[in-house]
Every structure is written in structure tokens, then in C-alpha cells.
Chain A
């Protein structure tokens, strides 16, 4: 039953990802990447991760697309130097084997939403039961991110800060 919505979404994901790789016109590739992010956000929302879906829409489909487009304005919409050599034979053999290995390993993963899986028995019940009394924050995701795991979030903010500074320093040109 659950596959009714997932399979078309996953096919759309594959199609948009493959199209973004194979497209010669870089502008179309960027827009296809935006579509990919949007479908990925639909998958997240379908799995119940609304916060992640929100971030994926805003950052993946919105901000990243704009940044890619601005980069294209600064360079060229079509890269003529792009020559794709055929993939080496080792990759053609190794990558399907890797995929088979991953599918084999995926059989041992717990069922989606299994209450007895390790992820939902270790510390998650504590967060789910205690977070409102502890922090007066109804959204458990926010209280975990910003309160229980606050130091992690601070270092993530440092990462964004560093990325912004590095981009500005690398792209700095003299402003006329």
C-alpha cells in the first residue's frame, strides 16, 4: 500500500537526477536539479519529516537554484568544453555490484516506523515524552535541535558562517 505513492516519486527522482547529469544545456540542468529537490521534499513530507521537507524546498529548490543561476550568468550557459569520455570498465562493473550490496544490506534494516527498532527505543521516547515539560516547545524537532543538541547546532552555524566567509573571500573582486 505504501508503495503507491513512493514508486512514482522515486521514478521522478531518478529521471530528474539523470536528466540533470546528462543535459548539455547547463540552464536546463540547473532547473532539473530544482525539480529534483522538490520531488525529494515531497518524499520527505510523505515520510512525515515535515521540517526536513521545508528545508529541502527552501534551500534545495530555492536558494541553491538561484546560486547556480547566478553562477551561470557569470560564466556561460553552455559549456562547449564538456566532453564526456565513456566510463571506465571497472566503474561499470563495480557500481552495480555496490548497488546489489546495498540492496542486500537494506534487507536487514528495521521496517519503517517500527517501534522496536534501535533508533526509536534508545533515547527518542525520552525526548518525545519530556520535551514539552522541559522546554515548553511543542515542536519536538526544534527542541531537540536547539536545546538538547544545541552545541551541535552551534557548530553547524559555524559551518555556514565559514562557508559564507570562504565564498566571499574566494569570489571577491574589485567593485567598480
Chain B
């Protein structure tokens, strides 16, 4: 169990840093089509901001904020990704062929651009939630003493 950090410097810096890191993560996620970055890195940065919250404000503080239900949200990103593929199927194309996304008023290339963006969001959600849930489970309880002496 990770306790809140004592130092007021760490606490105040954390309050300042966490929103900045989250903003940067969103930037990397949505700018991945124009520069280095993308869903994977953006998701990891978003997850890292949550991990920073856990490390600074303790296990309980972020649990009350994020909710234990987060552990069950692991598949949402997968659902988004596969759902985009399913929408392509509904639109009459192959699985994950974004050109067949059934959105009126968009040309083919713009549809594919939109499909890339949506799937990147899916990857980001999946990676972020996986990272946070691993950290949660690693920091869930205090040390089991016996396991060291086996």
C-alpha cells in the first residue's frame, strides 16, 4: 500500500505536474498523425500521469478518484478498436478498411484519417488502463513477508 508522500514540495509539484502530463499525453495522442507519437505512446503517458497520482497522493486517494471499476474497464479500448472494424463491416467493406466507414459527407481519404484517429483512441485507452491496473495490483496490499523466505 502506497501512502501519500509527506513532502509539501512533492505534493504541490504533483498538483502542478499531473494536468500538464495529461495535456501532453492528449497532445501526443491526437498529434500522432502529424508527428511522432500516436495511440500507444499517448496512452502510456496518460497512464503515467495516473501512476504519478498514485505515487504522490497515495493508493487510496487515486482509488477514490478513479474507482476500482477501472480494473474492469480493460476491454473498452479493445471494444473501440474492434468496433471501428465492425463499423467498416457494416459499411460494406472489409474488417478495418476505414474507407467503408459509413459517414456521409466525407471523402475516402478523410474517412481513413478518421478511422486512424478512432483506432488510436482505442489503443490509448487500452494501454492506459492496462498500465494503471498493473500498478494498482502491484501496490494493492502491503508486503507478504512469507514470500521472501521461501
Contacts and interface: CB of A to CB of B under 8 A. Distances in A.
Interface of A: 50-51, 53-55, 58-59, 62-63, 66-67, 70-71, 73-76, 133-139, 141-143, 145-147, 150-151, 153-154, 157-158, 160-161, 163-165, 167-168, 171-176
A151 B141 CA distance: 38
Contacts of B38: 51, 139, 141-142, 145-146
Interface in B87-143: 95-96, 98, 109-110, 112-113, 115-116, 119-120, 122-123, 126-127, 129-131, 133-141, 143
Contacts, number: 154
B41 interface: yes
A74 B138 contact: yes
Contacts of A73: 2, 139
Contacts of B141: 173-176
Interface of B: 1-2, 28, 32-41, 44-45, 47-48, 51, 55, 68, 71, 74-75, 77-78, 81-82, 85, 95-96, 98, 109-110, 112-113, 115-116, 119-120, 122-123, 126-127, 129-131, 133-141, 143-144, 147-148
A39 to B, nearest CB: 18
Contacts of A157: 77-78, 81, 122-123, 126-127
Looking at chain B's contact residues, the main secondary structure is helix
Contacts of A76: 148
A66 B135 contact: yes
Contacts of A147: 98, 112, 115-116
